[in-house]
Structure 1
Amino acid sequence: MPEKPVPPILTTTAGSPWPDNQNSQSAGPRGPLLMQDYQLLEKLAHQNRERISERVVHAKGSGAYGTFTVTGDIRSYTCAKLFGEIGRTTDILIRFSTVAGERGAADAERDVRGFAVKFYTEEGNWDLVGNNTPVFFIRDPMKFPDFIRTQKRHPRSNLRSATAMWDFWSLSPESLHQVTILFSDRGLPQGYRHMNGYGSHTYSFWNEVRERYWVKFHFKTLDGHRHWTNQEAASVVAQDRESAQRDLYDAIERGNGPSWKVCVQIMPELEAEHTRYNPFDVTKVWPHDDYPLIEVGIARLNRNPDHYFAEIEQASFSPSNIVPGIGFSPDKMLQGRIFAYADAHRHRVGTHYEMLPVNRPINPARTYHADGAMRFDAPRGMDAYYEPNSFNGPVEQKWAQEPPLRISGDAARYDHRDGNDDYIQVRALFHLMNFAQRERLFGNIAAAMRGVPAEIVDRQVAHFARVDPDYALGVLEALAHQG
């Protein structure tokens, strides 16, 4: 038999050899333990701190590495180098998640799925933070904390509350588009490989001559859509709470990692002032007849992380991470997330979370950020620790400034329900469904309304009726059949 390799030396965190990892130091075989046993204290203290706070939303997730390869030329719209030529490849990390459940939640639950992509480009990291749906429940970040509370546990019962969810949704008609998708077949994908991804928000491109275009991102699964019914999902959860994690991990280990066709919708900047809907409203989609999909590339996952905690749990995505050629938009939910996501990471992971290997860009990051938790680099030549300075410190790059917005308006707290139809796009979606799809939609909604007070049910059904009378009638019949 071949000789076993010599195992490496066990050390303390400071690198000193660790002599005994089985027995604590004590005053004799039956005596009390000694405070000088720093090895014991180190192990116990580290165990107390080996968990970081879970994400407030998107807590349960999976992820893997892969590549994005350009297949379509969009250089007339953006000067971002990752799109610079056909065949160019960029390393990526994708994290998938459910939204509402805690880290111990089951994968096969009816919920929106997060779809976050980190592109490690030569110009820095670009994070595209989206979902498996093209829309969201609300259009203004002022409502986000309240919405998320309805998805979490009731402070008195410590149980998820269907009443809270439907009360909020029935009082927020802009949620109807996302609610309809959530309770349709696509609201319960069989795994992360079998769903689309969307940037959801409106972003912007700008090109070499500083023209701006609005853009929507679409990741179309090449592994086919597959979905569970509620009954099928209940059986899956009873057997395996990590069904999506297992499916993704095993597929990549077999060399059969998933892939998506990446497409964009493009809108010239000033057209946004003339559309019949607000193109910056994340509860709305852009009709494909008006803005057809343009193929950009292929995203493939081909490598599982070596250490889940270090590379996926600590992976930190934020829409504030952009590169030259890609910009923001007046999308109010996007504007709120530009701050909130990065701030969540500073709180959850640490002040300098972007220094962790999984979050660090492949090109050098040079900032004037000062000290705080996780400042583990030791920069030399600290005369240039402020800016401006006379000591050859990093300087600003005016060329990277995106062009000014040509859309302007008065500062106010606008009620975006005024003149904003929250039913017409839901009606179009409902009319795309065949009889069987509608019946499952009605049944899923009725099941989710179990125990909800009648007045809230009536208020929500009134919204369904404004979409289509058949929508309301179908839900009422499903509720009656449920008893």
Structure 2
Amino acid sequence: MLVLVVSMFMMALTVATDVKDPAAQQIVMFKERNPSPVGIITTSSGAPVERTEALNTLNSRLLNNEYFMETLTHLNRERIPERLVHAKAGGAFGYFEVTHDITNICKAKLFSKVGKRTPVAARFSPVIVERGGSDTSRDARGFSVRFYTEDGNFDIVGFNTPMYAYKDPRLFPTFVRAQKKNPATNLFDRNTFWDYLTLQPESLHMFLLVFGDRGIPDGYRHMPGFGIHSYQVENKHGDIHFVRFHFRPDAGIKTLRAKEALKIGAEDPDYNTRDLYRAIGNGNFPSWTVSIQILTLDDVKNADFDVFDVTNVIPLNEFPLHPVGKFVLNKNPVNYFAEVEQLAFSPANLVPGILGGPDKVFEARRLAYRDAQYYRLGANFNRIPINCPFRTNTFVYNRDGRPPVGDNEKDIPNYFPNTFNGPIPYIDKKRSNLIEIVEYEPNNFKQATDLYVNEMTSDERSRLVENILYNLAPATAVLQERAVKLFSLIHPDLGYQIEQGLRRNATISDVNNNYNDWH
């Protein structure tokens, strides 16, 4: 009997090892591709390293061992500043293929003809989670994509929610700091989070999704993406339209329930990143259908809602989706730091035909993202290979600074204008300007009510209440009262269910205060 059990175990082990897991077996697969050492170790200056220097430093002068000195001093300089938000992420590469003609509204070259393919990069990330946190935390997710076009890089720095948290960009520092760790305790603090949320009810619309079933995606390849802004675009005649980008996963939207997410996060905090890498490595390439909502200038003027309010959605029943193409990821990063950690997105990365959003949040993000990249990667971050617009020739007047500098623009004049044939601007007589808009205080509850009443099932509403209660219970009584009043404005039933739940929990003295597991 024992022999039979051992035999069955060995058979199972053999089968398990025969199944390739590209994420777990990356280093093994590297050896299979390279049956012998790939070369001789060198110093960074190219000198070959002798065996005794690499294997032993005992009884020898350390300062004379260049391999040791270089390795030790480099180790202290390997980390760069962590992103303030979106610090942890998974990423991959692939292509975008046009499936439907939209040249009548947008002249951008990446949409120029059906069947055209454009190289792309993507980075998916929880917003608040730090670099070592859990992929299955309850949090909004970043959905950032880059198109490497003939006219430069076009970035959509989106989210997995179709709306954003605030309309006034002055709230960005408050939004981040209230969700980050308390500076006194270095612990996540639900009092600070609920203080923010109850003082800024415009964020409630987004957080209904975060606290609902959509709050924890079951892998990045099952996560939708949204551009959140209404982008102004133009055709070759200079006619303008406004679009919102939607990315819907072809594998379907899948999410994790709270208890399941806790269990998975405890066992594998890199669950989403691993799932993405494994799927691509096995040839199961994730893809998204890219669609847009289209509005004319008259639509904007006549709409009974603010088209440019990023805290709201544009109703699909009034402005349906128009398919544009397929977004496919078929290549894993070869080196995570070089290709994902250094990947620097910016809403300012626009191309002819796409003018960006006229709202203040878009305007502020243009500054915030650029400044963040300068801080993390230096002024020449666009010369890092993964950020380089490799499908076009670049001519800039900026010079020098921290490496990489590339050829530093060789001997081209470094000032503009000049009379010595340096690069000159192009002329587009039909180019339109980004429109100016007047922005008003957001309507905080109308669409949130519609989401709760018309888009959530009874079971989804029940789970929403449970998740809110878990998060709100440790907050102080005054914050709980403010939250109940605001949720009651969304819908009386929602406020009532939360109030009753808080009363039931009032006698519980030991509430789990592990904020990072749930938010």
Give secondary structure in 2 for the equivalent of 1:264.
strand
Q: Does residue 13 in structure 1 map to residue 44 in structure 2?
A: yes
Give secondary structure in 1 for the equivalent of 2:502.
helix
What's the RMSD between the two structures over aligned residues?
Answer: 1.7
Q: Distance in 2 between matches of 1:271 and 1:101?
A: 39
- Structure 1 residues 471 and 380: alpha-carbon distance in aligned structure 2, compared to 1, 3 A threshold: closer
Opposite residue 259 of structure 1, the aligned amino acid is: S
From 382, 389, 396, give the equivalent of 1:367. Answer: 396
Q: Distance in 2 between matches of 1:144 and 1:394?
A: 37
Q: Does residue 430 in structure 1 map to residue 452 in structure 2?
A: yes
- Structure 1 residues 201 and 47: alpha-carbon distance in aligned structure 2, compared to 1, 3 A threshold: same
**Counterpart for residue 184 of structure 1:** 212
- Structure 1 residues 124 and 438: alpha-carbon distance in aligned structure 2, compared to 1, 3 A threshold: same
Deviations 1:313-367 (A, max 9, x none): 1101001001101112221111100111011011101210111111111222211
From 195, 209, 218, give the equivalent of 2:237. Answer: 209
- Structure 1 residues 333 and 408: alpha-carbon distance in aligned structure 2, compared to 1, 3 A threshold: closer
**Counterpart for residue 417 of structure 2:** 388
Opposite residue 476 of structure 1, the aligned amino acid is: E
Q: Distance in 1 between matches of 2:143 and 2:462?
A: 28
- Structure 1 residues 301 and 435: alpha-carbon distance in aligned structure 2, compared to 1, 3 A threshold: same
Counting only pairs closer than 5 Å after superposition, residues 395-414 of structure 1 correspond to structure 2 as 395-399=424-428, 402-407=431-436
**Counterpart for residue 145 of structure 1:** 173
Q: Distance in 2 between matches of 1:441 and 1:383?
A: 60
Q: Distance in 1 between matches of 2:189 and 2:283?
A: 41
Q: Does residue 23 in structure 1 map to residue 56 in structure 2?
A: yes
Counting only pairs closer than 5 Å after superposition, residues 23-42 of structure 1 correspond to structure 2 as 23-24=56-57, 29=59, 33-42=61-70
- Structure 1 residues 458 and 163: alpha-carbon distance in aligned structure 2, compared to 1, 3 A threshold: same
**Counterpart for residue 166 of structure 1:** 194
- Structure 1 residues 173 and 381: alpha-carbon distance in aligned structure 2, compared to 1, 3 A threshold: closer
Deviations 1:401-456 (A, max 9, x none): 841245455xxxx7x43xx4211101110012111110000000000112101111
- Structure 1 residues 161 and 51: alpha-carbon distance in aligned structure 2, compared to 1, 3 A threshold: same
**Counterpart for residue 314 of structure 2:** 286
- Structure 1 residues 388 and 446: alpha-carbon distance in aligned structure 2, compared to 1, 3 A threshold: same
Contact 2:355–2:434 under 8 Å retained in 1: no
Q: Distance in 1 between matches of 2:35 and 2:287?
A: 40
Q: Distance in 1 between matches of 2:38 and 2:432?
A: 57
**Counterpart for residue 243 of structure 1:** 271
Give secondary structure in 1 for the equivalent of 2:485.
helix
- Structure 1 residues 5 and 176: alpha-carbon distance in aligned structure 2, compared to 1, 3 A threshold: closer
Q: TM-score normalized by structure 2?
A: 0.87
Q: Does residue 73 in structure 1 map to residue 101 in structure 2?
A: yes
Q: Distance in 1 between matches of 2:98 and 2:412?
A: 42
Q: TM-score normalized by structure 1?
A: 0.94
Opposite residue 391 of structure 1, the aligned amino acid is: F
Q: Distance in 2 between matches of 1:56 and 1:479?
A: 33
Contact 1:327–1:402 under 8 Å retained in 2: no
Give secondary structure in 2 for the equivalent of 1:154.
coil
Q: CA deviation at 1:400?
A: 8.7
**Counterpart for residue 351 of structure 1:** 379
- Structure 1 residues 49 and 400: alpha-carbon distance in aligned structure 2, compared to 1, 3 A threshold: farther
Q: CA deviation at 1:478?
A: 2.7
- Segments of 5+ residues of structure 1 without an aligned counterpart are none
Q: CA deviation at 1:34?
A: 4.3
Q: Distance in 2 between matches of 1:458 and 1:401?
A: 56
**Counterpart for residue 446 of structure 1:** 469
Contact 1:384–1:390 under 8 Å retained in 2: no
Contact 1:280–1:332 under 8 Å retained in 2: no
**Counterpart for residue 328 of structure 1:** 356
Opposite residue 490 of structure 2, the aligned amino acid is: V
Q: Number of aligned pairs?
A: 469
Opposite residue 466 of structure 1, the aligned amino acid is: L
Opposite residue 81 of structure 1, the aligned amino acid is: K
Q: Does residue 263 in structure 1 map to residue 291 in structure 2?
A: yes
- Structure 1 residues 379 and 464: alpha-carbon distance in aligned structure 2, compared to 1, 3 A threshold: closer
Q: Does residue 471 in structure 1 map to residue 499 in structure 2?
A: no
Contact 2:359–2:437 under 8 Å retained in 1: no
Deviations 1:121-153 (A, max 9, x none): 111110110000011111111110111001110
- Structure 1 residues 422 and 247: alpha-carbon distance in aligned structure 2, compared to 1, 3 A threshold: same
Give secondary structure in 2 for the equivalent of 1:459.
helix
Give secondary structure in 2 for the equivalent of 1:102.
coil
Q: Distance in 1 between matches of 2:370 and 2:90?
A: 20
Q: Distance in 2 between matches of 1:88 and 1:135?
A: 30
Q: Does residue 230 in structure 1 map to residue 258 in structure 2?
A: yes
After TM superposition, the structure 1 stretch with the greater mean CA deviation from structure 2, 115-124 or 395-404, is 395-404
Opposite residue 413 of structure 2, the aligned amino acid is: A
**Counterpart for residue 337 of structure 1:** 365
Q: CA deviation at 1:257?
A: 1.7
Q: Distance in 2 between matches of 1:306 and 1:111?
A: 28
Contact 1:68–1:90 under 8 Å retained in 2: yes
- Structure 1 residues 439 and 315: alpha-carbon distance in aligned structure 2, compared to 1, 3 A threshold: same
Q: Distance in 1 between matches of 2:362 and 2:375?
A: 20
Contact 1:90–1:120 under 8 Å retained in 2: yes
Q: CA deviation at 1:375?
A: 3.7
- Structure 1 residues 305 and 47: alpha-carbon distance in aligned structure 2, compared to 1, 3 A threshold: same
Q: Distance in 2 between matches of 1:260 and 1:471?
A: 33
Q: Distance in 1 between matches of 2:227 and 2:136?
A: 23
- Percent identity, aligned pairs only? 39
Q: CA deviation at 1:392?
A: 2.1
Q: Distance in 2 between matches of 1:95 and 1:253?
A: 17
Contact 1:281–1:332 under 8 Å retained in 2: no
Q: Distance in 2 between matches of 1:401 and 1:318?
A: 26
**Counterpart for residue 3 of structure 2:** none
- Structure 1 residues 153 and 75: alpha-carbon distance in aligned structure 2, compared to 1, 3 A threshold: same
Q: Distance in 2 between matches of 1:367 and 1:268?
A: 35
Deviations 1:164-223 (A, max 9, x none): 111101000101101111101001111101110001112111110111111100001111
Q: Does residue 459 in structure 1 map to residue 490 in structure 2?
A: no
Contact 1:252–1:302 under 8 Å retained in 2: yes
Q: Distance in 1 between matches of 2:255 and 2:412?
A: 59
Q: Distance in 2 between matches of 1:315 and 1:11?
A: 28
Q: Distance in 2 between matches of 1:292 and 1:364?
A: 38
Deviations 1:50-87 (A, max 9, x none): 11111100001000011111011111110001001111
Opposite residue 352 of structure 1, the aligned amino acid is: N
Q: CA deviation at 1:269?
A: 2.4
After TM superposition, the structure 1 stretch with the greater mean CA deviation from structure 2, 370-379 or 150-159, is 370-379
Opposite residue 99 of structure 2, the aligned amino acid is: T
